[in-house]
Amino acid sequence: MPINDAQGAAAIGAALYEKVKATSLALYRFGHDRAKQAGMILADTKFEFGTDAAGNLFLIDEVLTPDSSRYWPADSYAPTSRRRAYDKQFVRDHLVAIKWNQSPPAPRLPADVIARTQEKYLAALKNLLG
């Protein structure tokens, strides 16, 4: 859920919020620049943080992967068209098409959906890493 700076600071404290925000922006800039070098657009991403008992901040999940980010090929980007993407939207579209009610258990994915998703993830990896 989107929140503003005041809501973030109220939820976790101003000092920790500023640290999370600064770290998130630095990570995003890194991902944006790497994606741009690879001919891709980092459209959005997520970062997950946690703290230990002493209050030290930790990045606690995957970062800038196609599973946690939305990448688009820069050469085919157009603001008004459906975008090709290197992400899990393909899986989401399948689940919507079969009218899954989002309650456990999740349906098994067909082999072709798994294969197409793997192709998208591997293409992003190849682009990002060369």
Domain enclosing residue 116, as ranges: 5-129
- pTM for this prediction: 0.82
At 99 the pLDDT is 95
Q: Burial, 19: exposed, middle or buried (Cβ in 10 Å; 0-12, 13-18, 19+)?
A: middle
At 80 the pLDDT is 73
What mean pLDDT do residues 3-14 have? 96
Element (H, E) at 59: strand 57-59
State the Cα–Cα distance between residues 37 and 69, nearest whole angstrom: 17
Domain count within the chain: 1
Taking the mean position of all CA atoms in its chain, how far away is CA 69?
A: 2
* pLDDT for 82 beyond 80: no
Non-local (6+) Cβ contacts of 105 within 8 A are none
Check which CATH number belongs to the domain holding 90 and give it. Answer: 3.30.470.20
